[in-house]
A = this chain, B = another copy of it.
């Protein structure tokens, strides 16, 4: 196994994957790094460097076979599997994620929502039930849950993570506006929407900074 691939590269992989899917939709089956660079906005050099972290998928004089590269990227991203998923916190955001069909299509299957609020517990949202957060450890083990999405308020995020990890969860998608601390074998992807919005706000005001 070769040297660890940098996060900068990894964060570009989903974008390659998406643009290749678009090409397939348009029935384009062959592409050079130069052509791809014009569509996706990275340099051709970067594209070739990025891909070569994982293997030589192209062919000199020809370029890349779109379908083959798409399939390779699917494998690299782990999208050739499916993942049982639960959502902690059945508020607006939890519901929105539960109802987004795109994730299911990519193999992320939301099995249940969990909440601490007695008024929510037992409710059905489309075909999903809201279960008692008390019972989550048992559920994770019995239903073979691999990914948990944290949509709780900020102050309940860490304790929720701890409980999930104790039950064996190895992947957490955290939407609570706080950083959570986990052991190194647990992977966390943080989505901090406030931080994202603040970056937009920064950009809108950049010119006005009196430096």
Contacts and interface: CB of A to CB of B under 8 A. Distances in A.
B195 A18 contact: yes
Given A95-B96, A189-B196, A197-B108, A202 B13 contact: yes
B14 A192 contact: yes
Contacts of A14: 192, 194-195, 198-199
A85 to B, nearest CB: 9
A28 interface: no
Interface residues of A, number: 57
A78 B191 contact: no
B201 A78 contact: yes
Interface of A: 1-2, 10-11, 13-15, 17-18, 54-55, 76-79, 81, 83, 91-93, 95-97, 99-100, 102-103, 106, 108, 146-147, 170-173, 177-178, 187-189, 191-205, 209, 211
